[in-house]
Amino acid sequence: MRDKEKPKEQLINELTEIRQRVAELEESETHRKLAEEKLRETSDYLENLLNYANAPIIVWDPEFRITQFNHAFERLTGYTAGEVIRQELCMLFPEASRDKSLSKIARTLSGEHWESVDIPILCKDKDIRIALWNSANIYAEDGTTLLATIAQGIDITEGKRVDDALRKEKEYYRSFVESLSDWVWEMNVKGVHTYSNSAVEDILGYKAEEVIGHHITELWVDDAKTSETLKWLQKTLVAGKGWRNFHGKFKHKNGSIIITESTAIPIFDSENKLTGYRGIDHDITKRKQAEEALRESEGRPSGPSSRRLRTLSSLRIAC
């Protein structure tokens, strides 16, 4: 009797085990579906986050084919995502800078990531925009297999154009100043030269680099008038006033005396703080020598007191 009931008991046990396994599988399937749902929600969230981000974002695979292209990138380039997905990345680069851009991108394969790298982008209408890029690599679970590279950019075209225009303008004025025969200089509020054009060598015999970093008084003739002029200069520098038609007396590198007619204006920063002075000196040595010779021929006085009176009377301070 017991031998006949044994198979029945086994059958019940096996049935119980099957039911447990089915329950486990159902529970596992439920977890799997929940996980898939969460993954889908996360994926949708990330997709929306990428697509509706204000900054242009692009993703490409290790073969440099575009796999993601957000709306901001569409606005930047004029292309739609459908026009560029699965296309080669090089389509977005101007021909002139294409090789250089691809070289930068190739380095991302070895793990390099960008931090503020500027790369020109060729738009659909052939306009070229300059963007500043940051990038990161996306790896598989093994941590070594590269799946894709994602890059986010900032359009800096207008700022770049303004910077280029300012640079060209600065280069133009600098070349213009360097072409002048008059000595153009800048100095800080202490009277130390911070800039000098090359004309100073023709006038005083010193190269520009020999003047920069030195106080203006180091070039003056050391006579009775120097201390008086220095006091005036110190007050003027602090007061933030310029001057016009000031006759200065300088030592040429060869020991001769050079007389210049100087005009200067104060320099202020964006906060209206006085930072220095910018001026121009014209060599009037020959003119002064001619005037002195004429005075001597006419028998007019030309002593130290007379010269000092005339020099000070020629000084006009500009507010």
pLDDT at 44: 62
Phi, psi at residue 196, to the nearest 5°? -155, 135
To the nearest whole number, what is the mean pLDDT of the chain?
A: 83
pLDDT tens digits, residue range 265-298? Answer: 999 998 999 999 999 999 999 999 998 888 888 7
Q: What is the C-alpha separation between 290 and 297, in angstroms, rounded?
A: 10
Domain map (residue ranges) of the chain:
45-179, 181-318
pLDDT at 40: 64
pLDDT tens digits, residue range 224-240? Answer: 677 777 788 778 877 88
Residue 96: band (very low, low, confident or very high) from pLDDT cuts 50, 70, 90: very high
pLDDT tens digits, residue range 136-147? Answer: 888 988 888 888
pLDDT at 11: 67
Percent of the chain exceeding pLDDT 70 equals 83
pLDDT at 144: 86
61-75, 105-119, 137-151, 174-188: segment of lowest average pLDDT: 105-119
45-179 and 181-318, same CATH topology: yes
Of 197, 279, 269, the C-alpha closest to 236 is 279
Q: What is the C-alpha separation between 90 and 69, in angstroms, rounded?
A: 14
- CATH superfamily for domain 181-318: PAS domain (3.30.450.20)
- CATH superfamily for domain 45-179: PAS domain (3.30.450.20)
